[in-house]
Amino acid sequence: MKGKRVLFAAAGIAILLCSGCAQDEGKSSSATTVPESFLKEVFTTDFEKRYTEFQKDNDTEKYYDTFSDCASEACIEAMSGDRMPLKYDKKAEENSAKAKVLEVKCEVDEDGEGEFEVLLGYEKDEDKKEKATGQITVIEEDGKEKVDSFFLSNIVEVK
Domains and their CATH numbers in the chain: 32-152 (3.10.450)
Q: What is the pLDDT along the chain (159 residues), one digit of tens a residue?
A: 444 333 333 333 333 333 333 334 444 444 448 999 999 999 999 999 999 999 999 999 999 999 999 999 999 999 999 999 999 999 999 988 889 999 999 999 999 999 999 999 988 888 889 999 999 999 999 899 999 999 999 866 655
| Residue closest to 146 by CA, chosen among 41, 7, 8, 19 | 41
Q: Which residues pair with 147 in a beta bridge?
A: 71, 138
* Residue 43: per-residue pLDDT: 94
pTM score above 0.85: no
Cis-peptide into 35, omega within 30 deg: no
* Residue 123: per-residue pLDDT: 85
* Residue 29: per-residue pLDDT: 44
- 3-state helix/strand/coil string of 2-60: HHHHHHHHHHHHHHHHHHHHHHHHHHHHHHHHHHHHHHHHHHCCCHHHHHHHHHHHCCH
